[in-house]
Amino acid sequence: MIGFPFSEPPSKEAREAAGRAPAPAGFRGRAGVLVLRRGPEHQALYAFEPLLSAPARWEDLHGALWPERLEPEMPKVELVNGRGEKASLTELSRRFLSGRSQPLSARHAGQWREAFCRAISSPTVRLLLERNVAYRGWEPEGSAEWWVGAPPPQEVRWPGAFYPPARTAAPLVRFLLEGCGSGPERPLCLGPMDLPVLYEDQDLVVVNKPSGLPSVPGTREVWSAKRLLEQRFGSLFAVHRLDMETSGILLFARNQEAASALGRAFRERRVRKRYRALLEGVPAQSRGTVALPLAADAMDLPRHMVLPPAAGGKEAATRFETASVLKCADGRRRALVDLLPETGRTHQLRIHCAHPAGLGCPIEGDSIYGSQGSLALRSGRPLCLHMAEIEFEHPAEGRLMHFAAEPGFGRL
């Protein structure tokens, strides 16, 4: 049975088949494999999506990365799912856009049409379509995508690392998997977790969030820190967030007045935050500042990328200082660093650590930007990024509040 490729790391069979991929000479881009089984027989299908063009430097990237596409411009492509049912690309796009709980603006609908058109070239989409048309007697057993060659300079990709397909291909993949005996889409958080409360009063709740627990509810999150705390404290307001994989100090307001005051403090950068991270290696400099503008990758959320302001990037700066260098059990040296963000962009610390123009050392356990890619999900080690310290003025009383909680990975 094939798992949903956006929530499951590649199987052993898919990884082994990827090692035998007949990549074209000089190929640069995404590669994919689909492993099929029919009784005792196995075979692997391969597909390659070349990187068509990219500037030599991220600073040279200009113009719109995500053009809007009108419906009449969409190519006449027909897809077939595992039950033999057919649907055109235009029809699937209409189904997706009409099935959303909130309607999209004309601009965002045009971007989603562009995403559907790009998804046709996704290795996973092409391979599932090939299976459904030409190999219907074969059961899909596993799939994988990985990066080959140097990545585009605005992205953090590692040659040979496995990644899920581009997220905007998910609607097409869901349709193609219908009737293929695929496993269910696994929720991001399977159950409630222990959530230590560090402080509470009539205005605030401060907790030490574990890795793997979302801060707030989302489309695929069954549990979140907010939901767990509201069972005890009643309605709460999220005034900042941590990535699901990031652990550490998380702050909630218990009333609208406190939420407004804390929101202003975060926007005006009057909240001091210190994160601690364990890197995959040791950066060349022991201290300094990384200033790389960031933007969301609209075609592959939740990924973000480095973009100049002219192409839509927003200012992002992080001060860093190496706290210590550890020699770990596998013999490798890894740095424990303190990260002090001066801005609060999504995935800022993770990209500033991993990108070659930043520290060039990904955070240990990062399945999105780390050198192991999605295989980090199999390691059992969470993302080694922890909000260790926060300092701010109490929203009602004005007194200085300070909380610290060091991570467990600093004792490796």
Residuewise pLDDT in 10s, the chain (412 residues): 788 888 888 999 999 999 999 999 999 999 999 999 999 999 999 999 999 887 889 999 887 778 889 888 899 999 999 999 999 999 999 999 998 878 888 888 998 999 999 999 999 999 999 999 999 999 999 999 999 999 999 999 999 999 999 999 999 999 999 999 887 776 666 567 789 999 999 999 999 999 989 999 876 667 899 999 999 999 999 999 999 999 999 999 999 999 999 999 999 999 999 999 999 999 999 999 999 999 999 889 899 999 999 999 999 999 999 999 998 877 889 999 999 999 999 999 999 999 999 999 999 999 999 999 999 988 777 999 999 999 999 999 999 999 999 998 865 5
Percent of the chain as helix, strand, coil, to the nearest 5:
25, 25, 50
Q: Cα–Cα distances in Å, from 140 out to 12, 125, 127?
A: 14, 13, 10
CATH code of residue 390: 3.30.2350.10
Query: Which residues touch 43 (CB under 8 Å, ≥6 apart)?
Result: 35, 36, 138
Its pTM surpasses 0.85:
yes
Residue type, 356: P
Q: Is residue 127 part of a domain?
A: yes
- In the numeric block, the tokens 């999504």 are attached to 346
Query: Which residues touch 172 (CB under 8 Å, ≥6 apart)?
Result: 79, 92, 116, 119, 120, 122, 125
Q: Cα–Cα distances in Å, from 277 out to 214, 334, 354?
A: 19, 10, 12
3-state secondary structure of 50: strand
Q: Is residue 387 part of a domain?
A: yes
In a shared domain, residues 110 and 205: no
Q: Which residues are catalytically annotated?
A: 243
Q: Is residue 191 part of a domain?
A: no
**Which residue intervals of 3-103 are DSSP H helices?**
12-18, 89-98
Q: Is residue 29 part of a domain?
A: yes
- CB count within 10 Å of CB 56 equals 8
Contact between 306 and 300 (Cβ < 8 Å): no
User: End-to-end distance of the chain based on CA atoms, in angstroms?
Assistant: 37
Dist. CA 310–CA 348, nearest whole Å: 19
In a shared domain, residues 166 and 234: no
In a shared domain, residues 256 and 318: yes
> What's the pLDDT tens digit per position in 168-220?
999 999 999 999 988 777 666 656 778 999 999 999 999 999 998 999 987 66
Q: Is residue 4 part of a domain?
A: no
Per-residue model confidence (pLDDT) at position 197? 97
Residue 286 DSSP code: S
In a shared domain, residues 113 and 202: no
- In the numeric block, the tokens 């699937």 are attached to 92
Token pair, residue 210, equals 């574990």
Q: Which of 177, 208, 228 is the last residue of a domain?
A: 177
Residue type, 73: E
E runs forming strands in 39-166: 41-50, 78-80, 86-88, 139-148
Nearest-5° Cα angle at 339, 229 to 289: 145
In a shared domain, residues 111 and 249: no
Contact between 241 and 321 (Cβ < 8 Å): no
Q: Is residue 370 part of a domain?
A: yes
In a shared domain, residues 60 and 135: yes
In a shared domain, residues 96 and 203: no
In a shared domain, residues 221 and 359: yes
> What's the pLDDT tens digit per position in 92-127?
999 999 988 788 888 889 989 999 999 999 999 999
In a shared domain, residues 274 and 225: yes
Q: Is residue 64 part of a domain?
A: yes
In a shared domain, residues 206 and 355: yes
Contact between 47 and 176 (Cβ < 8 Å): no
Q: Sort 92 into a burial class: Cβ within 10 Å, 0-12 / 13-18 / 19+.
A: buried
Domain tally, the chain: 2
In a shared domain, residues 319 and 371: yes
b/e sequence 278-293, b meaning 16+ C-beta within 10 Å: bbbbbbeeeeeebebb
- CB count within 10 Å of CB 338 equals 16
Dist. CA 191–CA 94, nearest whole Å: 34
Q: Is residue 116 part of a domain?
A: yes
Domain assignment of residue 330, given as a range = 197-411
Strand partners, 236: none
In a shared domain, residues 164 and 261: no
